[in-house]
Amino acid sequence: MDNLSAEVGRFCMYTYIVFYSRYGNTARMAEAIAEGVGEVNDIQAELAYVRDTFTPAKIIEADEGWKTSKDLLEARFPAFELDKMKEADALIMGSPTRFGNMAAPLKNVWDMAANLWMEGSLIDKIGAAFTCAGSLHGGQETTLLSMYLPMIHQGMLIAGVPYSEQKLLSTTGGGTPYGPSATVGAMADQPPDETELAIARTLGERVARLTLALKS
Ligand SMILES: Cc1cc2nc3c(=O)[nH]c(=O)nc-3n(C[C@H](O)[C@H](O)[C@H](O)COP(=O)(O)O)c2cc1C
């Protein structure tokens, strides 16, 4: 970041989009949400890819797709910073569905956030979530709810996707009122489709708009 961007960044409101992704689909959803935030003036999106620091390298290296994707994602996205989560005006968290739950790197984000809870840093901030899953009814909604539980403990205000977004009524694409979702297949090789990405943009735009309204 050059000096001017750093200066601007300090004064601009931002939505922190914090995600983990193994094969890149959740990352694609995160980018669509950032595009939605970008449709609103006076607030920015900042993306952060939570690094997996505890899976042994030999397990990652045994899966060529995982290894390649990890290197690409780490090169493309800034790493998660706890201070940025504290300073953000809103938080949107994204995880691949893991047995109907959030992935461990994101659970670890919350395990590091006890001080934020003690300080009340996240109270009255908007929180939202998104996910990707392999199968159509694979636990998308429980995964979204799993990310909301710590947000509620932190005093955050949860924003889902209202049915004014009529793409929620699609019988083919994913997306839920609990938050955007994408169904990406057993091998994670079917990227989010246009309906799923559109619902993700809607959430980004909504969180940005609600955040500005709350702050004004
Ligand atoms: C340990 C593990 C557990 C998973 N559990 C589920 C599950 O409960 N339901 C499901 O539909 N997909 C499940 N999947 C598939 C992932 O959700 C899917 O690969 C992921 O959403 C792809 O996102 P990514 O490209 O961002 O990594 C699981 C995958 C792994 C590795």
Cα of 152 from ligand 1 centre, angstroms: 24
Q: What is the mean pLDDT of residues 135-161?
A: 97
Candidates 33, 54, 97: which one to mutate for ligand 1, based on the most atoms within 8 Å of Cβ?
Answer: 97
The pLDDT, as a whole number, for residue 216 is: 86
What mean pLDDT comes out for the span 200-216?
A: 97
Confidence grade of residue 161 (pLDDT, cut at 50, 70, 90): very high
Closest atom of ligand 1 to 136 CA is 11
Q: What is the pTM of this model?
A: 0.95
CB-defined site of ligand 1, < 6 Å:
21-26, 96-100, 132-135, 138-139, 184, 188
Q: What percent of the chain has pLDDT over 90?
A: 91
Q: Look at residue 42 in the predicted model and tell me its pLDDT.
A: 96
Across 14-43, average pLDDT: 98
Given this model, what pLDDT does residue 105 score?
98
| pLDDT at residue number 172 | 81
Domains of the chain plus CATH, in order, are 13-215 (3.40.50.360)
Distance from residue 159's CA to the centre of ligand 1 (Å)? 24
Which token pair is 19? 């995600």
**Would you place residue 10 in the very low, low, confident or very high pLDDT band (cuts 50, 70, 90)?**
low
Q: What is the pLDDT of residue 173?
A: 77
* Geometric angle at alpha carbon 162, from 98 and 189, rounded to 5°: 35
Taking the CA atoms of 87, 88, 90 and 95 in sequence, report the sign of the dihedral they define. Answer: negative
